[in-house]
Amino acid sequence: MAFLIAGAIAYYSVRLFTQSADEIILPELTGKNIIYVLETLTSMGLNAKLYGTNYDDTIPRHNVLSQDPKPGATIKKGRDVIIYISKGPKENSVPDLRQIPLKQALILLEKNEFKKRYVSFTYSSKTPKDHIIEQHPGPFSFALKESFCHLLVSRGANPIGMVMPDINGLRLEKAAAIIKNHNLHISKIISKKDLNQDKGTILSYTPHSGSYVTGDTPITLVVNSPENNKTMDPDKLSSAIFLTHSLGPGFLKRHVRVETDMFGPIIDLYNEYVKPNEDINILVPSGIHTEINIFIDHRFEKTIIIDPWNEDNNTGELLWESSPLQFYQLILPGLVKN
């Protein structure tokens, strides 16, 4: 009986206290600084209970991320209010981009949730061309994800100045070799028709002979050609075309001779006896206007023409066939053609 009476008294005492406690409408705490929130809840007679922290891109660090009960709920004095605190936006470690190629650096930035901003270039003898010299923010530092990173990229070693060589009147392939030997580069090749000059010779060029140039100086060549104002890709001067001609079936070897005018005078590229059904393979430069004549058993077979000025021939398909018999007489054994 004593225990029953004590329990009943305690029950009715707590019930009477809770019913008599003041009810409070909970204010909006999200986004408020934790110090302000603690002071506010204490002055309202409520208990702040910190249950955890988390990263958030919109709520600043040390501000309330969420609350329970929600804003506007009715709560009695002395009750607990559960709050979560923001750790602010998540920061990522900036990768080390130094001494790696620019393309690879941009991939690493994107992978680590950063963006490129300003990309500057300068000469450097210690860093290869198109590699990263320096970065900001620095490597292994922490920065907000999706923030910008500035890059300083190497142009390679500072080029050495020289005098532009005299290539006027030379054939294109010889002029290109001289330019390459001087560590210069051809940026543009333009055609111009001049009946008084040999086909494929240099008519003019810029910068002119004697000018101060470096490895970064763009060089434009004007080359004699049957048509005006056509352009040639300079990369064709360093590439080649693989030609194949298949022999037909038979029983005996056949005499195959291939002649060309790519170097000025007509010369033989191939002069052999070949078994039936075999292929004749020839490698010729793609940057020289070339006519190739094929003779089988001393009889003219066909002509293959390579025209580097054809703008549609940038995929390697630089040739077509023709049979202008009136221009090619039979070359008999023992006859030497200058």
Predicted confidence (pLDDT) per residue in 37-71, tens digit: 999 999 989 999 998 888 888 888 899 999 999 99
How far, in Å, CA of 322 to CA of 121, rounded? 51
Give the right CATH number for 162-234 from 1.20.1050.10, 3.40.190.10, 3.30.10.20, 2.40.50.140.
Answer: 3.30.10.20
Boundaries of every domain in the chain: 21-86, 91-154, 162-234, 239-327
Instruction: Record the tokens describing residue 188, joined without a space.
Output: 């543009």
- Res 21: pLDDT: 53
How far, in Å, CA of 133 to CA of 152, rounded? 5
SS3 assignment, position 84 = strand
Domain 239-327 has CATH 2.40.128: no
| Conformation bin of residue 251: beta by default, left when phi > 0, alpha when psi is -120 to 50 | alpha
How far, in Å, CA of 104 to CA of 66, rounded? 41
Instruction: Print pLDDT tens along the chain (338 aa).
Output: 888 777 777 666 555 544 545 788 889 999 999 999 999 999 989 999 998 888 888 888 899 999 999 998 988 888 999 999 998 888 889 999 999 999 999 999 999 989 999 999 999 989 999 999 999 999 999 888 889 999 999 998 888 889 999 999 999 999 999 999 998 999 999 999 999 988 889 999 999 999 999 888 999 999 999 889 999 999 988 888 888 888 888 889 999 999 988 777 888 888 999 999 898 888 888 888 888 999 999 999 999 888 888 865 443 333 433 333 333 344 444 444 44
- Res 110: pLDDT: 92
Find, among 225, 234, 236, the residue nearest to 191 by Cα: 225
Note the CATH number of domain 21-86.
Answer: 3.30.10.20
Enclosing H/E stretch for 154: strand 148-154
- Res 102: pLDDT: 95
How far, in Å, CA of 255 to CA of 249, rounded? 14
| Half-sphere CA count of 204, side-chain side, radius 13 A | 6
- Res 15: pLDDT: 58
- Res 16: pLDDT: 52
Domain 91-154 has CATH 3.40.50.300: no
Q: Give yes or no on whether 91-154 and 162-234 have one common fold.
A: yes
